[in-house]
Amino acid sequence: MVKNNVKVPFKSSRAALITAAVVTLVLEHFIPFGGLIVYPFTLLTTWVHETGHGLAALIVGGHFQRLEIFWDASGVAHTVENPGWPVAVVCLGGLLAPPLVGMIILILARGPRRALGILIALAAALLVSLALWVRSPAGYFAVPLVAALLGAVVLRGSENRRLVAAHFIAVQLALDTLGRMLHYVFVPTAMSGGHESRSDIALIADNLGGHYMLWGLLVAAIALGLLAVGLWAAWRKPK
């Protein structure tokens, strides 16, 4: 009797999403030093946040000079833009980048081919940013490492592993939004690289008016809405 060793890909993104969430839970809470495995992907969420700032600066006609990621998972995007609403847009770009990217991955990664495309695009974006903007030791460590890991999954991984890998990244972005981001949008100052400065949400209030807490509520609602749309898309049954 000949055994069939062909692995059947997940029939929906539900299984991949559940597997990615379970893997994250096990690594962070049940495996010794499992947090070290997740750590580069924590820095990846910082990269998404800071890259969101930089790309928003380019969109409003400003400049994206460099991107710094620090070992404590904080970061700074050095940008130049006009005062007023362009500053607010740049701040919003960073705040909403993780939930937005997470939503896009959850919507698109509903099959192995789409997951493969997402992994290739993300690895390419990491390498481009490394060449153009990343300028810090933690960034030099995390960005090429994550790009290499994604490249390994692309080249050597099975269809199931590619699908889980894409959803694993989405889970990290979702957890970052529900954890760090929802706290960050309700504080007027923040520490980055050991230095305290005005938070993104406070800068939005400074440049557009209003209290930063009200802007925090609005940004939090938008971020949660983006994640809800992504989770709904990933969870619904394929047609």
Residue 227 CA to residue 47 CA, distance in Å, equals: 18
Q: Is residue 5 part of a domain?
A: no
Q: Is the pTM of this model over 0.95?
A: no
For residue 125, what are the domain limits?
Answer: 13-235
Determine the average pLDDT of the residues in 120-129.
98
The C-alpha torsion from 80 through 86 and 91 to 93, rounded to 10°, is -100
The mean predicted confidence, pLDDT, of the chain is: 93
Q: Is residue 8 part of a domain?
A: no
Task: Tell me the pLDDT tens digit for each residue of 31-79.
Answer: 999 999 999 999 999 999 999 999 999 999 999 999 999 999 999 999 9
CB neighbour list of residue 176: distance below 8 Å, 6 or more residues apart: 42, 45, 49, 98
Whether residue 107 contacts residue 233, with contact meaning beta carbons closer than 8 Å, is answered with yes
Q: Is residue 63 part of a domain?
A: yes
For residue 6, what pLDDT band results from cuts at 50, 70 and 90? very low
Task: Tell me the pLDDT tens digit for each residue of 215-233.
Answer: 999 999 999 999 999 999 9
CB neighbour list of residue 111: distance below 8 Å, 6 or more residues apart: 9, 13, 163
DSSP class of residue 133 equals T
Write down the pLDDT at residue 5. 47
Q: Is residue 207 part of a domain?
A: yes
Q: Specify the number of domains making up the chain.
A: 1
Q: Is residue 6 part of a domain?
A: no
For residue 1, what pLDDT band results from cuts at 50, 70 and 90? very low
